């Protein structure tokens, strides 16, 4: 397949959410090290003054942005665009996960998870893409998870939120490709980020039937502080940077829409492939024989 997307030969301006640690901070440092302009954001910049100074000393900006705020995200983008600082690359990274069995989530917990992982990114995308479309260039990078493909027990709300953004991304990618705007989904396995320390357990107690279940084991493990992902976040973000810019492992791949990262993610993809293939093995005949006869 020939490459249809192009990228300008100039430094790009990146807007990255969730930059106080983990993937966001790593990608910020990599982009700046390669001469790009980064507008880093976090919910509470005052908590990380050293990081704010580091980014701004290298020519970047650090802005307060709570993606849950219905008006803040769009306002940040409109203000930057109006000031003559167009966003070339939008990276939706900010997030967290809440854990409990599916029947135990409160509606408030699920709505809050969706707010951070789906509606927040959606509002930023909705604000940024029109500008990218008019300029005939832009990249939206949405950080997803193996949970969106096949979630682990106790991660139903997180899996649903990530899958929702994946669904939007797949459709949006088709719609904006003619305008040289690219939507890249980064499917991540487990990495050495702060996710284990940001664990939230649902407030409703698990029913007795779940005692000793995989869901309970996952909840206990994730809240123990012992979680350590087996992936290197800096190696992963180097790959993200290169796939966005078409350098290194991304050379010749500017049209790709999905970047899988992590050995455990490789196994998850194969699990989903087997799940789909099995469904056709069992029900393929009926699948192909429920059509209307002409």
- Residues with a catalytic annotation lie at 144, 158, 162
Question: Angle formed by the axes of helices 120-135 and 156-176, to 10°?
Answer: 10
Cβ-defined contacts of 46-50 (< 8 Å, 24+): 47/20, 48/20
Backbone φ/ψ region at 256: left (φ over 0), alpha (ψ -120 to 50), beta: beta
Other C-beta atoms closer than 10 Å to the C-beta of 57 total 9
Cβ-defined contacts of 66-72 (< 8 Å, 24+): 67/17, 67/92, 67/94, 67/115, 67/116, 67/120, 67/121, 67/123, 67/124, 68/112, 68/115, 68/116, 68/120, 70/119, 70/123
Q: Phi, psi (5° rounding) for residue 182?
A: -115, 135
Element (H, E) at 183: strand 181-188
């Amino acid at each position: 397949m020939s490459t249809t997307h192009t990228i300008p030969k100039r430094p790009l301006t990146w807007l990255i959410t969730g930059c106080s640690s983990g993937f966001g901070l790593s990608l910020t440092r990599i982009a700046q090290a390669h001469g790009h302009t980064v507008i880093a954001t976090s919910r509470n910049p005052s908590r990380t003054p050293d990081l704010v100074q580091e980014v701004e000393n290298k020519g970047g900006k650090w802005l307060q942005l709570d993606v849950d705020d219905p008006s803040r995200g769009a306002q940040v983008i409109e203000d930057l665009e109006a000031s003559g600082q167009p966003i070339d690359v939008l990276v939706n990274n900010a997030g967290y996960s809440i854990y409990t069995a599916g029947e135990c989530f409160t509606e408030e917990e699920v709505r809050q998870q969706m707010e951070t992982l789906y509606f927040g990114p959606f509002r930023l995308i909705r604000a940024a893409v029109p500008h990218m479309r008019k300029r005939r260039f832009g990249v939206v990078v949405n950080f997803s998870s193996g949970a969106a493909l096949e979630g682990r027990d106790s991660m139903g709300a997180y899996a649903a939120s990530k899958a929702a953004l994946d669904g939007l991304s797949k459709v949006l990618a088709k719609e904006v490709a003619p305008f040289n705007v690219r939507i890249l989904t980064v499917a991540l396995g487990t990495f050495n980020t702060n996710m284990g320390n940001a664990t939230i357990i649902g407030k409703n107690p698990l029913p007795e039937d779940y005692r000793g279940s995989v869901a309970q084991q996952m909840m206990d493990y994730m809240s123990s502080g012992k979680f350590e992902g087996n992936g290197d976040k800096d190696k992963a973000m180097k790959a993200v940077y290169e796939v966005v810019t078409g350098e290194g492992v991304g050379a010749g791949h500017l049209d790709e829409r999905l970047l899988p990262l992590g050995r455990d993610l490789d196994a998850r993809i194969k699990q989903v492939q087997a799940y789909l293939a099995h469904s056709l093995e069992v029900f393929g005949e009926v699948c192909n024989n429920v059509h209307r006869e002409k």
